Amino acid sequence: MKILNKTTLLNFLLLLICTPLVPLKAQDPHRFDPPWNTPPESTVNFTIAGINNVPDLHGDIVAPQLVVFFAGNQFMCIDELIAGFKKENPQIERVFVETLPPGILARQIKGGSLTIGNLRITHKPDIFAAGKGLISSMRDYFSQTETYTYNGLSLMVAKGNPKKVTKLTDLAAKNLRVSMPNPAWEGIGAQIESAYKKAGGEQLRQTIMEHKTNDGTTYLTRIHHRESPLRVLLNESDVAPVWTSEIVYQKLIGHPVEEVKIDPQQNIRAEYVAARMKDAPRPEAADLFIAYMVSDQAKAIYRKYGFQTE
């Protein structure tokens, strides 16, 4: 064993003492935070990541000339949809849109109000656009309904698919962390449960939705179109069953995720319906927007973000 002489040892100690400590740069926990849409222009933009950020309320909340409630997973289409609609109908300048979970929007419609933080919203929508099942269950609220797009399911994983997920039954693995929409207020939750049963019967559904929820390896989201991508991006979950359009969008904005396709025999196809409220406060605008939603222009926007239109 070589013994350092006094001079070498002294120089080594001086080097340690004189070398500045450079702290490791921690990753910004808000680096992937929404809003992922382009915010409207304003004299003051006071969005602060993690503190003041309300990404599912869009546009002009004061004196709107049109109010639309969209099932939340369509948030990525809103900028272009509303811009296109305004271009076709320049007399309508102020539009307010909500893109919250459809079950929450249904409760807001029935109850008449919604509170987020310190903000209370009492606007009645002119249009409610959501899955066919929910719209059908509320048919007495609507005077007209039109199907405008479709969607399927995929599995979202981090870029490189580090856990090598290949199929739905993989989600039963004990060491695989799943981000799963809560069926209590997310229509996609029930659709995914149906896919689990197709892939592995009731046993697979119970494993993912009950056993793994109890041990913490399945996380039930409240706003899956925001939480599931964030959990995968921040390595809090390994896989998330989502609408295919959500993976298309995350990749479009440069976020490091990948798609694992689901066997067509186990997948489902959701149908989205735009419904005009019977008591629409702005009936002329409601009629114009229903017509726009089934136009070729609107369908092209949906296709861009991974939806299907036929």
Reported as a single tens digit per residue, the pLDDT across 120-140 is 999 999 999 999 999 999 999
Regarding pTM above 0.85, the answer is: yes
DSSP 171: G
The residue length of the chain stands at 310
CATH code at 81? Answer: 3.40.190.10
Same domain, 114 and 245: no
Same domain, 138 and 231: no
Q: Determine, yes or no, domain membership for 309.
A: no
Burial (CB < 10 A; 0-12, 13-18, 19+), residue 201, is exposed
Query: What pLDDT, in 10s, does the model give residues 188-205?
Result: 999 999 999 999 999 999
Same domain, 223 and 145: no
pLDDT of residue 16 exceeding 60: no
Same domain, 70 and 101: yes
Neighbours of 42 (CB within 10 A): 7
Same domain, 174 and 228: yes
Angle at which helix 296-304 crosses helix 283-293, to 10 degrees, equals 60
Q: Determine, yes or no, domain membership for 4.
A: no
Domain count, the chain: 2
Q: Which of 9-23, 90-104, 137-151 shows the lowest per-residue confidence on average (mean pLDDT)?
A: 9-23
Query: In the chain, which ranges are continuous DSSP H helix?
Result: 6-18, 78-88, 102-111, 132-137, 187-206, 212-215, 224-233, 244-252, 283-293, 296-304
Same domain, 65 and 137: yes
Query: What pLDDT, in 10s, does the model give residues 67-80?
Result: 999 999 999 999 99
**Nearest one of 80, 101, 117, 242 to 168, comparing CA atoms:** 242
Contact predicate 131/287, CB 8 Å: no
**Nearest one of 100, 97, 95, 124 to 112, comparing CA atoms:** 124
Give me the pLDDT at residue 15, please. 54
Same domain, 180 and 118: no
Give me the pLDDT at residue 46, please. 84
Cα distance between residue 130 and residue 300, in whole Å: 18
Cα distance between residue 265 and residue 108, in whole Å: 36
Same domain, 134 and 192: no
Same domain, 134 and 102: yes
Q: Determine, yes or no, domain membership for 96.
A: yes
Q: Determine, yes or no, domain membership for 123.
A: yes
Same domain, 255 and 300: no
Cα distance between residue 275 and residue 142, in whole Å: 6
Q: Determine, yes or no, domain membership for 300.
A: yes
Q: Determine, yes or no, domain membership for 38.
A: no
Percent of the chain with pLDDT over 90: 81
Contact predicate 156/228, CB 8 Å: yes
Q: Determine, yes or no, domain membership for 23.
A: no
- Residue-number span of the structural domain to which 234 is assigned: 151-261
Q: Which of 46-55, 85-94, 248-257, 289-298 shows the lowest per-residue confidence on average (mean pLDDT)?
A: 46-55
Same domain, 62 and 130: yes
Same domain, 160 and 197: yes
Q: Determine, yes or no, domain membership for 196.
A: yes
